């Protein structure tokens, strides 16, 4: 009897519903860096392969970003008008609708989420 119960339990576990996992999806990016962004790129945290995002929002503008990825943590790099880059590390793109890229007067970078 024990020989039959173990395989049945294993099969039941395999077909049991799995809760939906979080994943990154479409979002709105707000540019609060104080300068125009010439180009946006994104990569998963811990990787080196940057991928271009469509759009280059001017200072204060919003940009709809079509995006889908099973991961949550990303780095976003903004090539700033006039030269230089701003890299926002560890951006959580799961369960958010708006990501605001901020840059303070002394160059400090942070992200706000809605």
Q: What is the pLDDT of residue 70?
A: 95
Geometric angle at alpha carbon 47, from 41 and 52, rounded to 5°: 15
Q: What is the pLDDT of residue 18?
A: 38
The Cα–Cα gap between 77 and 104 comes to: 16
The partner residues of 36 in beta bridges, in order of sequence, read none
Place of tokens 């160059």: 107
Q: What is the pLDDT of residue 3?
A: 55
**Regions in the chain scoring below 50 on pLDDT:** 2, 4, 6-20
**Nearest of 39, 70, 72 to residue 53 by alpha carbon:** 39
Q: What is the pLDDT of residue 41?
A: 97
Structure tokens at 49: 């392969």
Q: What is the pLDDT of residue 21?
A: 59
The Cα–Cα gap between 10 and 7 comes to: 5
Q: What is the pLDDT of residue 17?
A: 43
């Amino acid at each position: 009897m024990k020989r039959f119960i173990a395989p049945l339990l294993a099969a039941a576990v395999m077909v049991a519903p799995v809760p939906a996992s979080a994943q990154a999806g479409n979002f709105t990016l707000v540019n609060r860096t104080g300068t125009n962004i010439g180009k946006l790129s994104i990569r998963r945290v811990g990787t080196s392969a940057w991928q271009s995002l469509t759009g280059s929002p001017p200072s204060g503008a919003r940009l709809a970003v079509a995006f889908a990825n099973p991961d949550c943590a990303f780095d976003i790099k903004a090539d700033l008008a006039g030269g230089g880059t701003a890299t926002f590390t560890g951006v959580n793109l799961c369960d958010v609708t708006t990501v605001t890229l901020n840059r303070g007067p002394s160059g400090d970078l942070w992200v706000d989420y809605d």
